[in-house]
Amino acid sequence: MKYSKLIEALGEISLDPVSEARAILEYCLGIKPSQIPLIKDKDLDDELLNPILNARRSNTPLQYILGKWEFMGNEFIVNENCLIPRSDTEILCEKALTLIKKDDHVADFCTGSGCIGLSLLLHSPLQHITLVDISKGALDVAEENAKKHSLEKKCTLINDDIRELPRKGQFDLVVSNPPYIPTKDIDTLSKQVQKEPRLALDGGQDGLDIIDFLITDGLDFLAPQGKMLIEFGYDQGEIMDTSLAKIKKEGKIKDYQILYDYGRNPRVAYIEK
* SS3 per residue for the chain: CCHHHHHHHHHCCCCCHHHHHHHHHHHHHCCCHHHHHHHCCCCCCHHHHHHHHHHHHCCCCHHHHHCEEEECCEEEECCCCCCCCCHHHHHHHHHHHHHCCCCCCEEEECCCCCHHHHHHHHHCCCCCEEEEECCHHHHHHHHHHHHHCCCHHHEEEEECCHHHCCCCCCEEEEEECCCCECHHHHHHCCCCHHHCCHHHHECCCCCCHHHHHHCCHHHHHEEEEEEEEEECCCCCHHHHHHHHHHHHHCCCCCEEEEEECCCCCEEEEEEEC
Q: Confidence class of residue 248 from pLDDT cuts 50, 70 and 90?
A: very high
- Confirm if 186 and 202 have CB atoms less than 8 A apart: yes
Mean pLDDT within 171-195 = 96
Residue with more model confidence, 256 or 12: 256
| C-alpha radius of gyration, the chain, whole number | 20
Instruction: For residues 32 and 133, state if they share a domain.
Output: no
Over the stretch 90-112, which tens digit does the pLDDT of each residue have? 999 999 999 999 999 999 999 99
pLDDT in tens, 53-62: 999 999 999 9
What is the pLDDT averaged over residues 114-134? 98
Confidence at residue 129, expressed as pLDDT on a 0 to 100 scale: 98
- Do 86 and 155 lie in one domain? The reply is yes
- Owning domain of residue 17: 3-58
Q: Beta 266-272 vs 222-231: how paired, if at all? A: antiparallel
Mean pLDDT of 188-211: 96
Average pLDDT, the chain: 96
* 44 and 80 assigned to the same domain: no
Local confidence band at 73 (pLDDT 50, 70, 90 cut-offs): very high
Confidence of residue 40 (pLDDT cuts 50, 70, 90): confident
The pLDDT assigned to 168 comes to 96
Tell whether the model's pLDDT for residue 38 goes beyond 90: no
165's CB contacts (< 8 A; 6+ apart) are 132, 158, 221
Question: Does 123 lie in the same domain as 7?
Answer: no
Dist CA 115 CA 15 (whole Å) = 24
State percent of the chain over pLDDT 90: 88
Query: Residue 217: inside a domain, yes or no?
Result: yes
pLDDT at residue 30, as a whole number: 86
Determine the average pLDDT of the residues in 137-160: 98
**pLDDT above 90 for 24:** yes
The structure's pTM equals: 0.94
| Band of pLDDT at residue 229, cut at 50, 70 and 90 | very high
Same domain assignment for residues 40 and 106: no
Examine the domain organization and report whether 100 and 194 are in the same domain. Answer: yes
User: Do 255 and 158 sit in the same domain of this protein?
Assistant: yes
Same domain, 127 and 37: no
- Cα distance between residue 53 and residue 43, in whole Å: 16
